[in-house]
């Protein structure tokens, strides 16, 4: 039997269930979901105040105590420093974009000054304020059902991750998929992290069967940028990498965008870069992508991002 640790929310169970089904198909083993409550569950305190790792730490502790064999995380929740004794695989990434769910089917362009938009993310707030449309950003916590349930009541709309809505089957309620030119996503948004002990047999399974190398490289670039900026998952930092086969055999093209903003929207520093990566089939692809992320972070710091992150 393989034990898969998961948070108990509807979204977490849906995500972990997908991973568990894949593991069962690959191994023929019985796979059991083990629900674990984390510090971030059951509280209405804003994530920015709770700190990094609040949805992760208890799952990792259960791994270390060998109470579970695998932990499934939303990758964007993970601290940027990875424990050496744990290894992560990245299944194919879901849509990384943000979406708007608004009353009466409206889009952002339909919402006028004073429209109340629910989001507690400093990254989203900074980019909404930068539009200069006079929106009122309302802090909001809770699961997908709770957030959407406020639309048309005390909120005109909410901003959510497209991946989460798709995984719980509520994508039909999206009124607008937000172009990354308008709303650049959080680093690793839409990606899952399947984590296990490096010394276990399951690590070979994850690396060989569950890991999507292009998704892994994209996430490596985005999170390396975040780490070099010394910013946590609740900082007003956005990043998105596109990874695709290059024109030449053995070459992979990377297009990486990054942004750092003041929460009031007064300043947004946006930069991008491209890189041709050599693909030999090993871990070097993710390492090269991470190096590109660090280089773009340096450019953002030179452009003034350091002052915005203070």
Show which residues are catalytic: 77
What does each C-alpha distance from 190 to 55, 110, 148, 182, 200 come to in angstroms?
16, 26, 19, 18, 27
Angle at the Cα of 144 from the Cα atoms of 138 and 145, rounded to 5 degrees: 100
Q: Which helix (H) or strand (E) holds 261?
A: strand 251-261
Helices (H), 140-281: 144-149, 162-167, 202-205, 213-228
- CA 163 → CA 3, 11, 253, distances in Å? 24, 10, 24
Question: What is the distance between the alpha carbons of residues 205 and 69, in angstroms, rounded to a whole number?
Answer: 12
Burial of 46 (0-12, 13-18, 19+ CB in 10 A): middle
31-35, strands of its sheet edge to edge: 31-35, 2-6, 70-74, 192-197, 86-89
Chain centroid to CA 101: how far?
Answer: 19
Say if CB 284 and CB 274 are below 8 A apart. no
- Distance (Å, whole) CA 221 – CA 286: 7
Are 47 and 120 contacting, i.e. CB atoms less than 8 angstroms apart?
yes
- For residue 86, the tally of other CB atoms under 10 A from its CB is 17
The burial class, CB within 10 Å (0-12 / 13-18 / 19+), for 27 is: middle
DSSP secondary structure code for residue 69 in this structure? S
């Amino acid at each position: 039997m393989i034990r898969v640790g998961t948070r108990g929310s509807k979204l977490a169970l849906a995500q972990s269930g997908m991973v568990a089904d894949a593991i069962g198909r690959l191994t023929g083993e019985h796979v059991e979901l083990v629900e674990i409550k984390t510090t971030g569950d059951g509280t209405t305190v804003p994530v920015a105040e709770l700190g990094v790792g609040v949805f992760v730490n208890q799952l990792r502790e259960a791994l270390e105590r060998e109470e579970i064999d695998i932990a499934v995380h939303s990758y964007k929740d993970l601290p940027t420093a990875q424990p050496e004794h744990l290894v992560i695989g990245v299944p194919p990434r879901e849509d990384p974009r943000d979406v708007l769910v608004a009353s009466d089917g409206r889009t952002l362009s339909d919402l006028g000054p004073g429209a109340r938009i629910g989001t507690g993310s400093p990254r989203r707030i900074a980019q909404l304020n930068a539009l200069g449309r006079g929106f009122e950003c309302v802090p909001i916590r809770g699961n997908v059902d709770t957030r959407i349930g406020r639309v048309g009541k005390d909120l005109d709309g909410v901003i959510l991750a497209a991946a989460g809505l798709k995984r719980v089957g509520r994508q039909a309620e999206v009124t607008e998929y937000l172009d990354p030119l308008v709303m650049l996503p959080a680093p690793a948004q839409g990606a899952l992290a399947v984590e296990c002990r490096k010394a276990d047999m399951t690590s070979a399974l994850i690396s060989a069967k569950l890991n999507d190398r292009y998704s892994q490289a994209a996430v490596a670039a985005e999170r390396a940028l975040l780490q070099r900026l010394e910013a946590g998952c609740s900082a007003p930092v956005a990043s998105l990498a596109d990874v695709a086969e290059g024109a030449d055999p053995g070459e992979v093209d990377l297009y990486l965008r990054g942004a750092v903003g003041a929460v009031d929207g007064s300043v947004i520093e946006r930069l991008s870069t491209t890189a041709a990566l050599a693909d030999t089939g090993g871990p070097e692809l993710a390492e090269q992508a991470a190096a590109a992320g660090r280089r773009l972070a340096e450019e953002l710091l030179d452009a003034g991002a350091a002052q915005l992150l203070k």
